[in-house]
């Protein structure tokens, strides 16, 4: 109970931090993108809302991109390619993607991520390569490049996508509980909405995170059990194939001996 109270106090403190940022965001909206926007290629694609549009956010500024069904809050230094409203590719950096029922797509080098009526925190450090996806609200669906199965990341969880492996599939991890402290810190820094909305989102995320922490142990045990069962099934299949090969080899040797004896 004490831990829950402390967590809620932390959320309240973070909510108060964003008041200044909310006011700054309102002022930013009054400025022209020509003067306050990011570096873009083609140069006028942001202002003209044309696609595709490669964007590099200033290393000292945040940036907000909106469309009728959602928005993206970018951290300084982030590089993305805007493909169409609600569809973008992250090259490096960090962002928070908000989507309503209209849905949104996030593209990566290693696969795609879809979200409908949810909020995602996405990070890719250039030197790390892998893309980390944390679901703050709703549920994300990950489509690894070359993969046969999709991955689901419920609210309160995180997962990652990495380089394509020898089997032709992009690497991915086991869903884990989100890094709550870091998520709330980044969220408060990037948030460009109303303070009550942030407080509501943060409380919902805290509840989802608590459930994720409680169920993470069971999930890991289940995944480990599945892995062990898969390994045992693979060993059994290999043993069966060895037995077939040895049986065929014995038949060939017996046939060879009979032929030699008859000759």
Distance of CA 113 to CAs 31, 169, 172, 252, Å?
A: 32, 15, 13, 54
Per-residue pLDDT of the chain (263 residues), as tens digits, is: 555 554 544 545 554 555 545 455 444 444 434 445 699 999 999 999 999 999 999 998 999 999 999 999 999 999 999 999 999 999 999 999 999 988 999 999 999 999 999 999 999 987 678 999 999 999 999 999 999 889 999 999 999 999 999 999 999 998 899 999 999 999 999 999 999 999 999 999 999 999 999 887 666 667 666 767 777 888 888 888 888 888 888 877 777 777 666 55
Between CA 259 and CA 116 the distance in angstroms is 71
- Residues 172 and 159: beta-carbon distance below 8 Å: yes
Handedness of CA 19, 200, 36, 27 (dihedral sign): negative
Confidence (pLDDT) at 197: 95
pLDDT at position 29:
42
User: Following CA atoms 34, 38, 42, 48 in sequence, which dihedral angle do they give, to the nearest 10 degrees?
Assistant: -50
Q: What is the pLDDT of residue 120?
A: 99
Query: DSSP 3-state assignment of 5?
Result: helix
What are the structural domains, with CATH classification, of the chain? 2-221 (2.60.120.1440)
pLDDT at residue number 32: 38
């Amino acid at each position: 109970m004490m831990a829950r109270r402390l967590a809620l106090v932390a959320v309240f403190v973070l909510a108060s931090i964003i008041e200044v940022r909310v006011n700054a965001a309102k002022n930013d909206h009054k400025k022209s993108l020509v003067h306050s926007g990011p570096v873009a290629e083609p140069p006028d694609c942001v202002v003209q809302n044309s696609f595709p549009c490669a964007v590099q956010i200033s290393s000292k500024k945040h940036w907000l991109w909106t469309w009728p069904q959602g928005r993206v809050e970018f951290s300084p230094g982030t590089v993305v390619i805007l493909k169409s409203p609600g569809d973008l590719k992250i090259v490096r950096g960090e962002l928070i993607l908000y989507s309503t029922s209209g849905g949104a797509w996030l593209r990566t080098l290693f696969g795609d991520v879809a979200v409908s009526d949810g909020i995602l925190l996405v990070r890719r450090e250039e030197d790390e390569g892998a893309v980390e996806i944390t679901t703050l609200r709703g549920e994300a669906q990950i489509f690894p490049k070359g993969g046969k199965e999709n991955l689901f990341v419920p609210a309160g969880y995180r997962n990652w996508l990495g380089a394509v492996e020898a089997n032709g599939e992009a690497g991915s991890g086991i869903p884990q509980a989100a890094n709550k402290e870091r998520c709330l810190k980044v969220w408060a820094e990037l948030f460009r909405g109303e303070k009550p909305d942030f407080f509501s989102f943060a409380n919902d995320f805290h509840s989802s995170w608590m459930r994720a922490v409680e169920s993470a142990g069971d999930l890991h045990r289940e995944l480990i059990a599945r892995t062990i069962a898969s390994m045992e099934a693979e060993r059994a299949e290999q043993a069966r194939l060895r037995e077939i090969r040895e049986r065929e080899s014995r038949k060939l040797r017996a046939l060879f001996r009979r032929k030699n004896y008859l000759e």
